[in-house]
């Protein structure tokens, strides 16, 4: 018995049976080793997330190519040498009962390097990226495919492609960052080509039955950026390409820190309108995230058909017992992610391991110590 029967009802995602509608949305915390390998700290963290009661844990973005790393301490999946650590990561998540997925990323123009690669040479953050050649594009498509195959080989139950946060997949879709006039730029159909190539190559690499999810940037929240109107036009083509779900989000590094967005981000369900708008145009499940703090709110989102699954990121970091407390009717005991707090985000932006102000002093010290040893 639970006060939230829809939230705790099962759902099958491309053959993968989730026991409930609660997922962990990817949350990069800077816990990997500087070499991109899995560290004891990252294993400890994901063991806790896997035991949270969430049905599916999508581990944070992992780089498919060395030049696609978003930050220092980002996981890497661009070589077989990372397989043993990734297998441990999958096991750590599954030990607690959750299904395990890993997010694959190429950061493109937001990569942590002096001359990033991007669809076009549009300056950002004081750097001008180098426009990708047709050969580069083909190489990166294959890098995603090989990384997806490694995720499967490592024992994960699913893989997610990172089309959010304004990283490379999203950069191709965006008229702001994609100014190409070849086969991969111009109208929406041409801007969609790279994401569709990546999905097709990943599908070929993992076979017909392995679930592939997609983090979908449905609105850049920038005047000349990818808009919800275009996102609704593009979503059915993505869905038809054989995705298990779309995990909808909004914003990029160019819009996250704008004052109106910072204000909006303090509100429960601040990205749910985007998910609901995408859900209207696709027939695959949709995940919504964004400060979903109250189980009753989550229950209503599902009951009203705004989304099929809930994604918790910082919310689950602040209280790794959220799903268990919700299921047991102890919602009032959930420690909330504080809207005014930016500790985790600020830490990772400075290249440090993330901490949470809701943790005990002892836990914060343990994480700091483990990060120093990584
Ligand atoms: C520090 C930090 C790291 C994040 N890392 C990722 C990531 O690796 N991949 C991704 O798709 N989203 C990432 N996100 C976005 C989250 O998945 C989520 O959409 C957002 O934080 C809203 O959910 P929440 O309020 O529960 O945190 C990150 C967000 C933050 C604050």
pTM of the complete model? 0.98
Question: Can you tell me the distance from the alpha carbon of 272 to that of 281, in angstroms, rounded to the nearest whole number?
Answer: 15
Distances (CA, A) of 164 to 13, 15, 105, 107, 168: 20, 24, 9, 10, 9
- Residue tagged active-site, from 4, 46, 167, 270: 167
Question: Can you tell me the distance from the alpha carbon of 188 to that of 29, in angstroms, rounded to the nearest whole number?
Answer: 33
11 φ, ψ (degrees, to nearest 5)? -150, 135
Segment 272-299 mean pLDDT: 98
CB of 312 closer than 8 Å to CB of 292: yes
Please write the tens of the pLDDT for every residue from 188-233: 999 999 999 999 999 999 999 999 999 999 999 999 999 999 999 9
199 φ, ψ (degrees, to nearest 5)? -65, -45
Extended beta strands in 210-317, E state = 212-219, 245-250, 286-289, 309-312
Average pLDDT over the chain reads 97
> Given a cut of 90, is residue 307 above it in pLDDT?
yes
| Terminal C-alpha separation, the chain | 42
Which residues form ligand 1's pocket by a CB distance below 6 Å? Answer: 25-28, 60-61, 103, 162, 164-165, 215, 249, 289-291, 312-315, 344-345, 348
Please write the tens of the pLDDT for every residue from 99-118: 999 999 999 999 999 999 99
Class of domain 11-340: alpha beta
* Residue found under tokens 């120093």: 372
- Mutation test residue for ligand 1: of 60, 313, 337, 339, the one with most atoms within 8 Å of CB: 313
Residue 219: per-residue pLDDT: 98
- Mutation test residue for ligand 1: of 25, 29, 286, 312, the one with most atoms within 8 Å of CB: 25
For 130-140, letters b (16+ CB in 10 Å) and e give ebbeeeebeeb
> Given a cut of 90, is residue 331 above it in pLDDT?
yes
């Amino acid at each position: 018995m639970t006060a939230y029967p829809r939230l705790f009802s099962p759902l099958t995602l491309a053959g993968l049976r989730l026991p409930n509608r609660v997922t962990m949305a990817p949350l990069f915390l800077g816990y990997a080793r500087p070499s991109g390998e899995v560290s004891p700290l990252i294993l400890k963290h994901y063991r806790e997330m896997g035991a949270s009661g969430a049905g599916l844990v999508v581990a944070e973005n992992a780089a498919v190519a060395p030049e696609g790393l978003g930050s220092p301490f980002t996981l890497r999946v661009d070589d077989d040498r990372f397989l043993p650590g990734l297998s441990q990561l999958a096991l750590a998540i599954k030990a607690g009962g959750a299904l395990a997925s890993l997010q694959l990323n190429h950061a493109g123009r937001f990569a942590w390097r002096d001359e990033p690669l991007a669809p076009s040479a549009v300056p950002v953050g004081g750097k001008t990226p180098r426009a990708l050649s047709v050969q580069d594009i083909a190489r990166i498509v294959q890098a995603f495919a090989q990384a997806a195959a490694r995720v499967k080989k490592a024992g994960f139950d699913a893989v997610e492609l990172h089309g959010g946060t304004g990283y490379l997949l999203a950069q191709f879709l965006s008229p702001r960052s994609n100014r190409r006039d070849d086969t991969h730029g111009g109208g929406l159909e041409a801007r969609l080509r790279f994401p569709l190539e990546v999905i097709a190559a990943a599908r070929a690499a993992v076979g017909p039955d392995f679930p592939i999810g997609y983090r979908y940037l449905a609105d850049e929240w920038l005047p000349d950026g990818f808009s919800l109107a275009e996102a609704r036009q593009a979503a059915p083509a993505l869905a038809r390409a054989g995705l298990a779900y779309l995990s909808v989000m909004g914003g990029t590094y160019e819009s996250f820190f704008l004052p109106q967005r910072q204000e909006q981000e303090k509100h429960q369900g601040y990205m749910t309108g985007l998910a609901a708008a995408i859900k209207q145009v696709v027939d695959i499940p949709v995940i919504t995230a964004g400060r979903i703090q109250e189980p009753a709110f989550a229950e209503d989102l599902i009951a009203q058909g705004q989304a099929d699954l809930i994604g918790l990121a910082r919310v689950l970091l602040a209280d790794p017992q959220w799903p268990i407390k919700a299921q047991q009717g102890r919602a009032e005991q959930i420690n909330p992610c504080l809207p005014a707090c930016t500790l985790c985000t600020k830490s990772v932006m400075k290249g440090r391991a993330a901490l949470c102000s809701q943790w005990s002093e002892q836990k914060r010290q343990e994480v700091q110590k483990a990060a120093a040893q990584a």
